[in-house]
Amino acid sequence: MEQNVSHTGTKQLTGLKYLLNNISHALLFETLDNEIVFVNQQFCELFQIPLDPELLIGADCSKSAETSKHFFQNPEAFVEGIRKIYAGKVAVLNEELVLANGRSIYRDYKPLLDDPDHKGHLWIYKNFNEVRSVLAQTQEQKFFYEQLLNNIPADIAIFDKEHKYLFLNKTAVQNDEVRQWMIGKDDFDFCRHTNRPSHLAVYRRGIFKEALDSAEMVEFEETNYTKEGKKVHNLRRYYPLLDKDGKVNQVIGYGVNITRIKEREENLMEREQALKDLVHSMDQVVVTLNMNGQIKYANPKWEELTGLQMHEYGSQKIGSFIRRGRDAFLRNLQAFMDEGKSDIPATYIYLNDHSGVQRVFSYYLANFSNYYTTEKRVAVFLNDITARLMVERKLKRIAAEERRINEMKSGFISLVSHELRTPLSVILASTELIEMLAAKRGGEDAAGTAKYTDRIIHQVDKMTQLMNEFLFLSKIESGKLSHSPVLLDVEELIRKLINELYTPWTDGRSLGFSVKGKPVKVLADELMLTHILSNLITNAFKYSEGRKAPALRLRFSKRSWSLLVVDNGIGIPDNQHTKIFLPFVRGSNVGTVTGTGFGLMIVNLFVKKSKGKIQMKSCENRGSAFLVRFPK
């Protein structure tokens, strides 16, 4: 730029030296051609420039970003940020920059383009520690002061000793008319003028008097509301300006909008309160310990348990409350404190409640940091499992008693079955002998005798079948009947069974049998499979007397094989479908057809032991179908 521009800038900035060199922010004002118009001492100190700021006036600062980038943690980002700001010429407020030493500073940028005599770039680097600017008011330099001060993003005001406004920048009061009107008036005048309550003026007057009396900076926070009712928080400071005799001449008011900071603080406090409410409402007992094992905090559940208030248990070690399991717990706790984890298996601890009743607790440990002191702590979460353990012990006793009763029942069934088998064998043998003797004698007596011996033999067969099923149940319940699969030719087994028992059935009907798919040998328990087949087929014949003969289909697929037994008999009533596999359950429509009520239950047990599934479809008076599917 031309020499007279530089000379004019230098003359104007001479009057600002006292004011702007005492603001804690680092300031740089340069022309659009990057020629320094003003720089203060704080700027030189921040960027370690070993020159008097006045010597820099008129210097070219176009390459200052490149030469200063080493002061920042991310040098290239700093240079790129400067380049973008120059290109955009858009105001920047509170942009955080991280220095190489890890400390953060904040940068503001304001393009001054409206005033033809003061066009340029205003850079402000600040740390918010203190505002130590002394605003020297001179009529000659007033306009230039206002231009600079109006573009600082903070409320700045200058008061006389009566607390009346001598100056207000645009950030403090944006409306030009109101700002001009405020000069020579105080906050009480402003409250009356805007019909606002005077409590804010009273509060400020008290703080102002404190600054006057102490002749020292006073800091305070205040909360105001916008027309829309939104909260606005400000951090304000009163800086007394002293004359040569040490008396207060004027007071500088400096305010920073900290609404966002307060909102974050309030959010943190709300979160903290929510977490505290959560911990207080937990059913678990929660205590935090310092690294010496002393209790530093406990939720209400702990006080409910022990009956002690904070002042009664505070600083006591948790070990003093543990009645059993103390040593193992303390070893776990120490390992957790040393390593941040514990490989020692957690055990129970026993504590006495306020009534002296011993209670059992499981526990787990977690790391915990105190937000206010950064002291490391351990959180202990205790779960009262006394009732659970009592229930578990009761269930174990009940289970043991049930096992004992089942063993007694199985033993009794086995004993009775074996004891009855001998007399039944004697009865059957004697009946057959009587039948043979009667046949030798011949005549009408032989025919009459045969009638009664047939009845005896039939009933003996029923008793034998019942005993066999009882023995099956006894072996199943006692675990003596194990599943022992072997490779079987199922088709061959079925044909052998059909030839022995169902060709024909007692009424002359024969079982229909078909095979679908490619027959292969399968893993199956021969005894269980034989019982499943014989029971289903026998039932199909028994409950379809006088109707079409039952049919059996054997089917092989890629992943399974199945048996389907279909009859055209009396069927099973709909309301008994879900109960038909229970013991002692028979269809209500069986009439005089004999049965024990154990057959289908045993079939179901054998199918499950073979990892198969059984399905049943039945319609009363139309017949039944049982499908048994096994995996290959």
Q: 7-39: per-residue pLDDT in tens?
A: 444 444 454 567 677 777 899 999 999 999 889
pTM for this prediction: 0.38
Burial class (CB in 10 A: 0-12, 13-18, 19+), 455: exposed
Give the pLDDT band (50/70/90) at residue 1.
very low
Give the residue from 24, 389, 396 showing the smallest Cα distance to 217: 24
The whole-number pLDDT of residue 146 equals: 67
Q: Which CATH class is domain 390-478?
A: mainly alpha
Residues 6+ apart with CB under 8 A from 494: 513, 533, 552, 554
CATH of domain 154-262: 3.30.450.20
How far apart, in whole angstroms, are the C-alpha atoms of residue 536 and residue 504?
16
What is the SS3 assignment for 178?
helix
Does pLDDT of 194 surpass 70?
yes
Taking a C-beta distance cutoff of 8 angstroms, is the pair 321, 368 a contact? no
The whole-number pLDDT of residue 479 equals: 64
Helix (H) or strand (E) holding 545: none
| Helix/strand/coil (H/E/C) assignment for every residue in 256-298 | EECHHHHHHHHHHHHHHHHHHHHHHHCCCEEEEECCCCEEEEE
The pLDDT tens digits for 562-575 are 999 999 999 999 99
Take residue 355 and report the two structure tokens written for it: 């009534």
Distances (CA, A) of 171 to 53, 56, 223: 27, 29, 17
Does pLDDT of 612 surpass 90?
yes
The DSSP bridge pattern shows strands 295-298 and 120-126 to be: unpaired
The pLDDT tens digits for 204-256 are 999 999 999 999 999 999 988 887 888 889 999 999 999 888 899 999 999 98
What single-letter DSSP state applies at residue 443? Answer: H
Q: Which CATH class is domain 3-126?
A: alpha beta
The whole-number pLDDT of residue 420 equals: 64
What is the SS3 assignment for 432?
helix
How far apart, in whole angstroms, are the C-alpha atoms of residue 526 and residue 492?
12
- Between 481 and 51, name the one with better pLDDT: 51
Poorest-confidence range of 89-103, 111-125, 226-240, 331-345? 331-345
Q: Same CATH topology for 3-126 and 486-631?
A: no
Helix (H) or strand (E) holding 630: strand 623-631
How far apart, in whole angstroms, are the C-alpha atoms of residue 573 and residue 601?
17
Q: Phi/psi at 40 (nearest 5 deg)?
A: -100, 175
How far apart, in whole angstroms, are the C-alpha atoms of residue 94 and residue 256?
11
Residues 6+ apart with CB under 8 A from 338: none
CATH of domain 486-631: 3.30.565.10
CATH of domain 285-384: 3.30.450.20
User: How many other β-carbons are positioned within 10 Å of the β-carbon of residue 17?
Assistant: 15
User: Would you give the end-to-end CA distance of the chain in angstroms?
Assistant: 97
Distances (CA, A) of 255 to 385, 455, 532: 58, 115, 93
Does pLDDT of 480 surpass 50?
yes
Domain ranges of the chain: 3-126, 154-262, 285-384, 390-478, 486-631
